[in-house]
Amino acid sequence: MWRKIISLLSVLIIITSLTSFVYADNGNSSRYQVLLPEEAVSTHRNKAILISGKAPIDTSITIELYGVVDLTGNKYSLVNLPNDEDYTLISVVNTKSGPLGFAEEIELMNGINKIIIKFNVEGVAPVEKIVYYYEAQQLFDNIRNIFLISTAN
């Protein structure tokens, strides 16, 4: 009984290890990458954030920072993101990649920030990252105000 189970598991392991996956790729995905920030959507509590990645030497890279001011009262969050037309261009940074890739530090604004990294190479899609920046003190003040309001009622 045990021999059959072990031999079956061995056969399954061999079959899965010999299986190869083929992906359609034009070769650009490994040459042009954004390493930081890692996640497509994240929170950040520092005003400055590092944008880094890799690209062939002397590749022209454009980093665009978009922010949104909530004048509509929708109270945007990572769950309730604004529409594309609600964002305003805040800054543009142009850089070139070196032997180790590229890295630029940009300053975020309070709230939702959209960062678009363009490699300025035909066939390479821009990379979009959403970062919610908050000040820790502001967060504590909001929690304290909510607590004070609920105890006053």
Residue 38: count other Cβ atoms within 10 Å of its Cβ: 8
Q: Distance of CA 119 to CAs 48, 87, 111, Å?
A: 22, 21, 26
The span from the CA of 97 to the CA of 111, in Å, is: 29
Look at the pTM and tell me if it is higher than 0.85. no
Task: Name, of 20-24, 76-80, 115-119, the range with top average pLDDT.
Answer: 115-119
Least confident of 3-7, 54-58, 111-115: 3-7
Tokens representing 79 are 């769950």
Contact 60, 104 (CB under 8 A): no
